[in-house]
Structure 1
Amino acid sequence: MRVVNLTEMPDMVEVLAPWHHEEWRDLYPNESLDDFKTELAKCLGPDAVPATFIAIENGELLGSISVLPRDMEIEENWGPWLANFYVKPEYRSLGVGKMLIEALLAYCESNAVPHLYLFTPKTRQYYERLGWETISTEKYHGQIVDIMLRQL
């Protein structure tokens, strides 16, 4: 398995966007599948942020992770954010997610990103084990989410 920048395989936007839309449409009720495609396409540019990385094995897409300038519509001007962290269900608990996070953290550190935020409605404990700190719990689009921070 390898992790590559989405810029190396831009056609994967067409595969990722439906996965992301299906997984998170409740958290982004005003965003369409095309909006998800547009967001991923922004990661194909030359800037360090935004960027998306994908896990590939034998030509099969296994998952994704992004660093985005903003991922929540909140008053605080926090950023950048770990976002679009998705692993196909049949590959969960096999180390794919950890590999994606490690690749993203290394990328951010090499691009002088001092810290990352994320929010999660379900997996706070997973991120705590990886060194993230919960800084706030908020109601967001009808769900309770934990906002977390990791210094790099």
Structure 2
Amino acid sequence: MYSKLIVSLAEHPQYFDDVMEWCYREFWEGPRTDSFELKEFLSEHLKKNRIPCSLVALCDGRPVGSVHLMEREHDSNPFFPCLSGLYVLPGYRKLGFGSMLIENALERARINGFSNVYLAADESITYYVSRGWTVIAPNEQSELYIISRPGRMSFFPTNPNILH
């Protein structure tokens, strides 16, 4: 049996390089991007108890996955906060780490005063829908769909005065 734990990157910055490598390789790398931009972006996730934040899945003390909770995922997505960049190392998939990361991100959003979390999904839409997310709108700017979880649909945070 594995020892599974989800931790905040802000409280465990020793995993920053692992998270940065996964993000760059899986989501960020391209002809017009560089790792400096990503490092700057992820550095904002090192502030404790705030959004944006990054969560890291640990298996027996080893980092095996991450997810990010952000104010916006895409400029064309008016909903927030957004779940983004869910990644689990291939050898650790189907062991529950993805679900644990998502649930911890949802709890982090609730603690910060948000009743819903959103994301823009493409081919991964079935993964999220099978876990209780609801499609609320096609994204007019791309082939993505905006999906929401949990609870009632709300276009605004429950407390708009909370600072992120």
Q: Which residue of 2 aligns with 1:60?
A: 62
- Report the secondary structure of 1:43's partner residue: helix
Q: CA deviation at 1:131?
A: 1.4
Gaps of 5+ in 1: none
In 2, the alpha carbon distance for the partners of 1:99 and 1:46 equals: 20
Q: CA deviation at 1:121?
A: 2.2
Normalised to the residue count of structure 1, the TM-score between the two structures is: 0.85
Identity %: 28
Query: CA RMSD of the aligned region, Å?
Result: 2.1
Q: Which residue of 1 aligns with 2:143?
A: 144
Count of matched residue pairs: 148
In 1, the alpha carbon distance for the partners of 2:49 and 2:33 equals: 24
Normalised to the residue count of structure 2, the TM-score between the two structures is: 0.80
Whether 2:12 is the aligned partner of 1:9: answer yes
In 2, the alpha carbon distance for the partners of 1:52 and 1:43 equals: 6
Q: CA deviation at 1:55?
A: 0.6
Q: Deviations over 1:23-66 (max 9, x none)?
A: 1137x764322222222110111452111110112231110111
Q: CA deviation at 1:79?
A: 1.0
Structure with the higher strand share, 1 or 2: 1
Verify the 8 A CA contact 2:84 2:119 in the aligned structure 1: yes
Question: Over alpha carbons, which structure has the higher Rg?
Answer: 2
In 1, the alpha carbon distance for the partners of 2:64 and 2:113 equals: 27
Q: Aligned letter for 2:7?
A: V
Gaps of 5+ in 2: 152-164
Q: Which residue of 2 aligns with 1:122?
A: 123
Q: Deviations over 1:76-123 (max 9, x none)?
A: 532110112111111111111011111111222222112111112221
In 2, the alpha carbon distance for the partners of 1:59 and 1:149 equals: 31
Q: CA deviation at 1:11?
A: 2.5
Instruction: Select 1:21's aligned residue among 16, 20, 24.
Output: 24
Q: Deviations over 1:5-30 (max 9, x none)?
A: 1112213121111211111137x764
Q: Which residue of 1 aligns with 2:158?
A: none
